[in-house]
Amino acid sequence: MLKQAAKSSLRSEIFLACGFQPLHLETFLKAYFSERFPGERAEVWTGLYGDLEGTLLKAVSSGATAAAVVIERSDLDPRLGLRSAGGWGLSVQQDILRSSAGRWACFLAKLADLASRMAVALVAPTLSNSLAGHTAGWQMSPIEVELEKQTAGFLAEAAVIGNVSILNPSRLARLSPEGSRLDAKMELAAGFPYSLGHASALASQLVMLLYPPSPMKGLITDLDETLWSGVVGEIGVGRVSWSLAEHAQMHGLYQQELRHLSEMGVLLAIASKNEIAVVKEALLRSDLYISGDAFYPVFADWGPKSRSVAGILQEWNIGAEGVVFVDDSPLELDEVRTGFPTMTCLPFPNGSPAKVVELLEQLRDLFGKPAVFREDALRQASIRASGQFKEAARQGDSGGFGEFMKGLEGKVSFDARKDSGNKRLLELINKTNQFNLNGVRLTEGEWLRRLEDPASFVVSVSYEDKFGPLGAIGVVAGKRAAGRLEIGTWVMSCRAFSRRIEFHTLEYLFGSSGAESISLKFQPTERNQPLQEFLRQIHLAADPTEGWILQREKFAGEHELPHSVVVTEEG
């Protein structure tokens, strides 16, 4: 794996900040990066042995775009490691606690500096304090409790620092049992404290923290024997169940997980073989753990479920690869999987509570995201509003689409502040496919580097109209050159299509910059046909040396701009 990675192009520079010799951890980090991004490799930089504070300072001033910070007890006080001769007896334990508290405070300050420049994956001590304390090993001693308390306090403060992701110790414990983590011989001989198995597990999770997969966008669920126990068309609306009292709590747990996903902004829909009137009545039951209104759209008929899934995807306007389908029937799962090979199809393990818990954990992994934004809460409502918008647009065709657009009472807001704390913009760049200039994805570190460039600009685009707010739905980023804007990133959410926001965006860019031309680093992708159609509408010209160029004089005055505009400039 490493030999293959060595031949590939450089993708990322990772700074591995630890107080021990990195050895196998560095090797596994490179290997798992190569596995995560086939054909690409990472360069890993390290610091000096025994000097985590100095290593963190070095990482801040480095050119790395990501950092893995691994803290062990010996970094807090050498007496907590095996290579020290200082001892851990009762006479020095209070001094160890004071030393440890001071180091935590120092590391927290350095961590904040580091996170202002790059994404950081943070690992708290993974090796136990099996020797400290006056109690027998099955009883926690006061010093162990105090050390754990200090660790918890540090992590609580680190968790609210932007760009910091903390490794979940519960997940690591599944991959690497605590009793097999320490390699005492290796630590004494070479200063590397981990067994190979623990180093491998730790490196795999560090790569996931630094380069997480894009979260899924929507979930389509079956009803009978999935959302609830029973077949509603046979036993009636009042007799389907999902509670502990009715021995159907596994369905109640699934409902609670769906409610949680809905609050995170995940789109939910129903594909059921049922009568639609019966389904609508059942979804009105007030004792459901998730409101029936959380599901949109609801497809219930007797046709193939793949047909219902196709209708849902069309209504959502998202690709099958971003959607999970859950059903208790292997037949239905296979039929949908055949129609949509890129969709994630998961069985609901009816009758197996343990497997239901595994399913809920799997859904957490598939839909988990580092942060939840205001726009996430608006997503389901905006999808409904989009349907209303399309219907109103169709009805308005006879009176002219221009008149319909003017009646929207739309407002486009442009914000040109370069705010490194606004994670919504990077999320838009990395998950938008259809209106996407070139499909280029960015890491947090790469994005922060762009924001630091004084020649760069970033514009966030938000929108609202009489159908409701959509929030931040677009990002334009690039560099200012002599008389020109060079745009390398331009994305817009599919929820904002057909509202002429893209025309307003170009008008704003010309007006605010005074540029005579805009160059676009356009590349066609499998999914960005809507962007390509827009470029055809504005008659963009291709220059063999400078890319795709739009002249101010070609654009000015030719396009209807129906919305009011609000501008927030940097400064």
Give the pLDDT band of residue 3 (cuts 50, 70, 90): very low
Averaged pLDDT of the chain = 91
SS3 416: coil
pLDDT the model gives residue 317: 87
Give the closest residue to 74 by CA, choosing from 132, 23, 13, 153.
132
Question: Domain check: are 264 and 296 in the same one?
Answer: yes
Q: Is residue 268 part of a domain?
A: yes
pLDDT the model gives residue 398: 45
Question: Domain check: are 18 and 114 in the same one?
Answer: yes
pLDDT the model gives residue 154: 98
Residue-wise pLDDT for 14-47, tens only, equals 999 999 999 999 999 999 999 999 988 899 999 9
Residue 467, domain CATH: 3.40.630.30
Q: Describe the strand order of the beta sheet including 164-166 as a list of residue ranges.
A: 40-46, 9-18, 66-70, 119-123, 164-166
Residue-wise pLDDT for 5-21, tens only, equals 333 345 689 999 999 99
Task: Say how far apart CA 501 and CA 408 lie, in whole Å.
Answer: 13
Q: Is residue 393 part of a domain?
A: no
Question: Domain check: are 72 and 199 in the same one?
Answer: yes
pLDDT the model gives residue 209: 96
Q: What are phi and psi of 444, to 5 degrees?
A: -60, -40
Q: What is the mean pLDDT of residues 233-242?
A: 96
Task: Say how far apart CA 309 and CA 220 lie, in whole Å.
Answer: 8
pLDDT the model gives residue 543: 65
pLDDT the model gives residue 393: 64
pLDDT the model gives residue 403: 76
pLDDT over 60 (residue 520): yes
Question: Domain check: are 234 and 198 in the same one?
Answer: no
Boundary-marking domain end, from 148, 181, 210:
210
Q: Is residue 381 part of a domain?
A: no
pLDDT the model gives residue 224: 98
Residue 318, domain CATH: 3.40.50.1000
Q: Which of 70-84, 368-382, 385-399 is predicted least confidently?
A: 385-399
pLDDT the model gives residue 412: 95
pLDDT the model gives residue 10: 53
Give the pLDDT band of residue 229 (cuts 50, 70, 90): very high
Question: Domain check: are 243 and 297 in the same one?
Answer: yes
pLDDT the model gives residue 93: 94
Q: Which amino acid is at 462?
A: S
pLDDT over 70 (residue 366): yes
Q: Is residue 398 part of a domain?
A: no
Report pTM: 0.84
Question: Domain check: are 111 and 256 in the same one?
Answer: no
Three-state secondary structure along 465-533? ECCEEEEEEEEEEEEEECCEEEEEEEEECHHHCCCCHHHHHHHHHHHHHCCCEEEECCCCCCCCHHHHH
Question: Domain check: are 537 and 453 in the same one?
Answer: yes
Q: Is residue 396 part of a domain?
A: no
Boundary-marking domain end, from 183, 210, 237:
210
Q: What percent of the chain has pLDDT over 70?
A: 94
Task: Say how far apart CA 492 and CA 419 lie, in whole Å.
Answer: 19
Q: What is the mean pLDDT of residues 277-299?
A: 96
Question: Domain check: are 169 and 223 in the same one?
Answer: no
Residue-wise pLDDT for 92-107, tens only, equals 999 999 999 999 999 9
pLDDT the model gives residue 497: 85
Q: What's the full length of the chain, in residues? A: 571
Residue-wise pLDDT for 304-357, tens only, equals 999 999 999 999 988 999 999 999 999 999 999 999 999 999 999 999 999 999
Question: Domain check: are 234 and 350 in the same one?
Answer: yes
Residue-wise pLDDT for 388-413, tens only, equals 676 666 665 545 566 777 788 899 99
| Number of Cα atoms under 13 Å in the Cβ half of residue 192 | 14
Boundary-marking domain end, from 158, 192, 210:
210
Q: Using CB atoms within 10 Å of the CB of residue 321, give its burial: 0 to 12 exposed, 13 to 18 middle, 19+ buried.
A: middle
The helix/strand count (H/E) of the chain reads as 22, 19
Q: Which of 179-193, 306-320, 524-538 is predicted least confidently?
A: 524-538
Residue-wise pLDDT for 165-184, tens only, equals 999 999 999 999 999 999 99
Q: What is the mean pLDDT of residues 519-538?
A: 90
Name the more confident of 275 and 558. 275
pLDDT the model gives residue 571: 61
The total domain count for the chain is 3
Question: Domain check: are 104 and 26 in the same one?
Answer: yes
Q: Is residue 399 part of a domain?
A: no
pLDDT over 90 (residue 190): yes
Question: Domain check: are 145 and 114 in the same one?
Answer: yes
Question: Domain check: are 282 and 195 in the same one?
Answer: no
pLDDT the model gives residue 545: 66
Residue-wise pLDDT for 76-90, tens only, equals 999 999 999 899 999
Q: Is residue 226 part of a domain?
A: yes
pLDDT the model gives residue 6: 36
Q: Describe the strand order of the beta sheet including 323-327 as a list of residue ranges.
A: 295-301, 267-273, 218-221, 323-327, 344-347
What range defines the domain where residue 336 resides? 218-367
End-to-end CA distance of the chain: 48
pLDDT over 80 (residue 461): yes
Q: Is residue 113 part of a domain?
A: yes
Residue 18, domain CATH: 3.40.50.1110
